[in-house]
Amino acid sequence: MTSAIRHFNERSVPGMGGVWFAMPLIWSLLGIAIAQKPDRRPIEVANAIEALAMKLVLEDWDGGTDPRVRGRRNLPRVGKTFADLRRPGAYVTQPFRQSCAQPLATLGLVEGTTARFNAFGLTPDGERLLEPLADVGSEIATWVEGSPSPDRMVLSKIAPTETLPSSVRSELMRRIYGNGAGAERRKSIRDAGAQLTSDVILGTDPEGLAPDHLIDLRGGIMTVRLREAALQVLGAVENRIAKHRADGRVPQLPLAEAEQDDQIRAKVRDCLAEAERAAPHIETVRDEADSRAFLRECRTAEGLLQRLAQRDGVVIVLRDGVLVPGPAFGADVAVEGDRVAVNPGVPELPRIANLLALTEDLSDDATPAANGRAAE
């Protein structure tokens, strides 16, 4: 269901990837700009800049629980030269930079023949956006060339907890909500704000949302809810196999036995009921085939366990009519979807929360203490 969930997140808030505060866009732009001069890979430079910004914050302050501050585990053990921070594993495996490629292109700040980050170059608009941070760019360029002690005062301007200059924030806001592709959908989400919840979307016709946008939002919410119901079925199977193992039995469960298990059958009934609730909304969406196929699979009890196990193949594997542990059995498996930032009124579609958080971060009254306060 990965492609379906990504589709609905993209349709809910087009073009903005997983960005939920603005500073990662600046780290990425600086990395692209500076990499062009010493002929380094933009990914390498942008990742190192992000790591440096985090390290300097952590050296002065532990960052509390602010989710914009990462690297608490690795960064205290490494130095702060470019050679130190460019190394894989020096910072985190998934930097904020990974969520920036799509919005950088959407906002007209980079150009390139592919969506690959290393293929990007700055557009004239991207170069102008960085002008208020010219001293930062110069300092980082010197650091990339080998300076061991970057000026902390200058680089404090790009700390993850810092507010960007007003001119940069206003230009980013103009580009997000201007007249480009997807802007109308982004505007409607912004204008609805925190009052936009899953229940509101499903139960009313919120003012300002176009009919086709509302169809996509409803289809996305119900697809995610149906997936969760299906995961609950697999979770019941996993629990039964785990109990067999704990009791000293072979950790497996024949399909016939699973179909008679009371707890598994209860989860199957829940899944069937969720499928019926989801059907009117998913069937209305005409351009997303995977969600409709998944809906069909979840509407019939007969063979449901077999179909779900065949789709999964990670936690539960079907082998010769027997359900057995997969490679991720007993582990918490992350599900697809973007990271929720704040105001998670529509938790099924995290990009809505991300856009509201980004808008707050770029607002005229933005302060470091006011933005990005979300659970990890």
Query: How many CB atoms are located within 10 Å of the residue 288 CB?
Result: 18
Q: CA-CA distance, 181 to 209, in Å (whole number)?
A: 16
Read off the pLDDT of each residue in 37-43 and give the average, rounded to a whole number: 88
Beta carbons of 49 and 140 less than 8 angstroms apart: yes
List, in sequence order, the alpha helices (H) in 86-206.
101-106, 124-129, 134-144, 152-155, 166-176, 183-192, 198-203
pTM above 0.75, yes or no: yes
Domain positions in the chain = 1-16+174-376, 23-163
Residues 149-201: tens digit of each pLDDT: 889 999 999 999 999 999 999 999 999 999 888 999 999 999 999 899 999 99
Query: What pLDDT is attached to residue 336?
Result: 46
Read off the pLDDT of each residue in 127-155 and give the average, rounded to a whole number: 94
Query: What pLDDT is attached to residue 375?
Result: 30
As a whole number, the mean pLDDT across the chain is 91
CA 13 vs. chain centroid, Å, equals: 12
The answer on pLDDT for 228 being more than 50 is yes
Beta carbons of 47 and 120 less than 8 angstroms apart: no
Beta carbons of 313 and 329 less than 8 angstroms apart: no
Which of 75-79, 211-215, 336-340 is predicted least confidently? 336-340
Query: What pLDDT is attached to residue 338?
Result: 53
The answer on pLDDT for 374 being more than 90 is no
Read off the pLDDT of each residue in 297-302 and give the average, rounded to a whole number: 96
Identify the CA nearest to 353 among candidates 336, 374, 327, 326: 374
Beta carbons of 97 and 31 less than 8 angstroms apart: yes
At 372, the pLDDT band (50, 70, 90 cuts) reads very low
Beta carbons of 262 and 237 less than 8 angstroms apart: no
Give me 82's structure tokens. 């470019």
Rounded percentage of the chain residues whose pLDDT exceeds 70:
93
Beta carbons of 354 and 341 less than 8 angstroms apart: yes
Whole-Å CA distances, 201 to 177, 224, 281, 334: 22, 14, 11, 26
